[in-house]
Amino acid sequence: MRPTLRMAGHANTLHMDPALVKYANMYVHRMRYFRWTPRTAWMTFTYVVAIPSALGYVAYMTDGKWELRGKRRGDVASEF
């Protein structure tokens, strides 16, 4: 019995786009191509130190100043 072939005899052939293959390979091996540059250093500092510390400062300074639960019409949200 003959194996069933797909249309025009192509069983499991799939041609990948070379640009997508290159991008996928670069994405998997990202740690090999990473370099510390001034831009990456500033971005790392911003996202790891500056933004969390600013949010922490704002949260610490406004802790307990706002009560948003159990308010009725006409009540103010601020507690200070």
Domain boundaries along the sequence of the chain: 36-64
Residue 1: pLDDT above 60?
Answer: no
Q: Of 79, 49, 76, 43, which Cα lies nearest the Cα of 64?
A: 79
* Predicted pLDDT of residue 11: 60
| Separation of CA 26 from chain center | 18
* Predicted pLDDT of residue 51: 97
* Predicted pLDDT of residue 72: 78
Q: How far apart are the first and last CA of the chain?
A: 86
Give the tens place of pLDDT for each residue, 13-55.
678 889 999 999 999 999 898 999 999 999 999 999 999 999 9
* Predicted pLDDT of residue 18: 92
* Predicted pLDDT of residue 8: 61
* Predicted pLDDT of residue 57: 97
Tell me the residue type at 67.
Answer: E
